[in-house]
Every structure is written in structure tokens, then in C-alpha cells.
């Protein structure tokens, strides 16, 4: 049982690191392009902790940027967990399944994050970025999931 648990934990960690890192990079890139600050959309994520003040912060800071990064990576764990659970339920996993599952989970994540949860639990970055950039962020998140799924298939 322990090897299986550590294997799943490893896959979850890889999924989280890849999807969170890629989406955070796009957040920074699009933030720089649209607000002049790479930190602004990441800071906005910390509105979970610091309310409206975090939504207005443009500069890098321990309080807003580190907190926003931590919340981003932690929240992504939930979606990565769904992805890994979906992957584990597949009998004969293929590269096409890994990608399709990543697209499905990232699409559901976008809908839930942006349209279903109370305002206090939204990612926050949607208040700093355009819809076009939001599509890019969730696409990057899905790409990270797909890369993790494909890597897991190669390790088999």
C-alpha cells in the first residue's frame, strides 16, 4: 500500500508543479503585458487572505506575491487531484486520454473558478486580466496536466 501511495503522491506533485508553474508563468507574462506588472495577477490571488487590497497591488511583495503564489499552487492541487483520479480510473491509458483528461479538467476548473464559486473564492486574477489572457492561463494549466500525464505514461 505504501509504494502505491507514494507513487500517487509523486504523480500529484509532478502534476501540481507543472500545471501551477506553467499557469503562473502565463499569469506573469499576461500581467506584464496588460497591467505593466508581472506580479499584479499573482498578487490578486492573495485576495483570499487580504481581501480587496490584494486586488490593487502591482509591486512584488512578500505579503501579496508570496501568498498569491502559495494559494495558486495549493488550489491547483485540488484540480491536479481530480486529474490524477480521472487518470487512475482509466483502464488502458493512452497519450490521447492524458491530453483529453487534461483539457476536460482545465475546462471544468475554469468554469468553476470563474463562474460557480462565490466571489471571495475566485482566483482573483480574473479581475486583472482580459478574457483572452484567462484562456491562455487555463490552457497553460491544462498543458501542464497533459505533460504530467504523458510523463507518467512514459515512466510505465
* 69-117 pLDDT tens trace: 999 999 999 999 999 999 888 767 899 999 999 999 999 999 999 999 9
Q: Residue 5: which pLDDT band, with cuts at 50, 70 and 90?
A: low
**97: which residues sit within 8 A by CB, 6+ positions away?**
87, 90, 149
Mean pLDDT of 2-6: 58
Q: Residue 62: which pLDDT band, with cuts at 50, 70 and 90?
A: very high
* pTM of the predicted structure, to 2 decimals: 0.93
Task: Annotate the chain with three-state secondary structure.
Answer: CHHHHHHHHHHHHHHHHHHHHHHHHHHHHHHHHHHCCCCHHHHHHCHHHHHHHHHCCCCCCHHHHHHHHHHHHHHHHHHHHHHHHHHHHCCCCCHHHHHHHHHHHHHHHHHHHHHHCCHHHCCCHHHCCCHHHHHHHHHHHHHHHHHHHHHHHHHC
Mean pLDDT of 32-59: 95
pLDDT of 3 reads 60
Amino acid at each position: 500500500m505504501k509504494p502505491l501511495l507514494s507513487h500517487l503522491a509523486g504523480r500529484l506533485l509532478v502534476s501540481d508543479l507543472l500545471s501551477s508553474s506553467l499557469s503562473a508563468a502565463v499569469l506573469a507574462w499576461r500581467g506584464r503585458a496588460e497591467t505593466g506588472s508581472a506580479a499584479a495577477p499573482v498578487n490578486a490571488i492573495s485576495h483570499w487572505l487580504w481581501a480587496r487590497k490584494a486586488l490593487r497591488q502591482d509591486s512584488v511583495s512578500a505579503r501579496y506575491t508570496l501568498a498569491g503564489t502559495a494559494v495558486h499552487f495549493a488550489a491547483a492541487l485540488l484540480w491536479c487531484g481530480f486529474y490524477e483520479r480521472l487518470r487512475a480510473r482509466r483502464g488502458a491509458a493512452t497519450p490521447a486520454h492524458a491530453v483529453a483528461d487534461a483539457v476536460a479538467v482545465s475546462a471544468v476548473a475554469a468554469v468553476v473558478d470563474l463562474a460557480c464559486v462565490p466571489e471571495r473564492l475566485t482566483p482573483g486574477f480574473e479581475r486583472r486580466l482580459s478574457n483572452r489572457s484567462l484562456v491562455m492561463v487555463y490552457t497553460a494549466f491544462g498543458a501542464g496536466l497533459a505533460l504530467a500525464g504523458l510523463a507518467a505514461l512514459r515512466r510505465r
